[in-house]
């Protein structure tokens, strides 16, 4: 079977819509051509020196969460000044005040235990 060719008018219309930043999949569905054909038109435009709007890549950003949701479970954290070059960190966990030296390499806090590695 012979390949179906687009008329010059439709090809020019696709090129114009690509220049406006339209989506390749949307154009392919509208003109009953493959997405590869649309990308080939885009590549040809770039080679000729025409400015083409870059593709919209990646996921669309999610709506920002309200600040109230972010602060569901606040924990108090204070950095207390210490004498010398030592730092001390103070936490309040389930109503219990805990102070940890700044020299601690790792602090792991679980619901029923707390591990501090130096």
The ranges assigned to domains in the chain are: 8-48, 68-117
Beta bridge partners of 101: 88
Higher pLDDT, 96 or 26: 26
| Strand partners for 99 | 90
pLDDT at 49: 75
Return the HEC string of 8-67.
HHHHHHHHHHHHCCCCHHHHHHHHCCCHHHHHHHHHHHHHHCCCCCCCCCCCCCCCCCCH
Is residue 24 a contact partner of residue 38, using CB atoms and an 8 Å limit?
yes
Q: Give the mean pLDDT of the chain.
A: 74
Closest CA to 53 of 63, 64, 42: 42
pLDDT tens, position by position, 36-60: 888 888 788 778 776 666 666 667 7
**How, if at all, do strands 114-117 and 76-80 pair?**
unpaired
Q: Is the pTM of this model over 0.85?
A: no
Assigned token pair, 96:
């219990």
């Amino acid at each position: 079977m012979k390949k179906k060719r687009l008329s010059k008018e439709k090809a020019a219309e696709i090129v114009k819509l690509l220049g406006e930043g339209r989506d390749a999949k949307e154009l392919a569905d509208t003109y009953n051509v493959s997405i590869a054909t649309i990308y080939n038109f885009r590549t040809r435009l770039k080679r000729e020196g025409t400015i083409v709007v870059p593709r919209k890549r990646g996921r669309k950003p999610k709506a920002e969460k309200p600040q109230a949701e972010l602060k569901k479970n606040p924990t108090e954290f204070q950095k207390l000044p210490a004498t010398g070059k030592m730092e001390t960190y103070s936490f309040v966990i389930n109503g219990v005040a805990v102070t940890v030296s700044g020299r601690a390499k790792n602090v792991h806090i679980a619901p029923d235990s707390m591990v501090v590695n130096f």
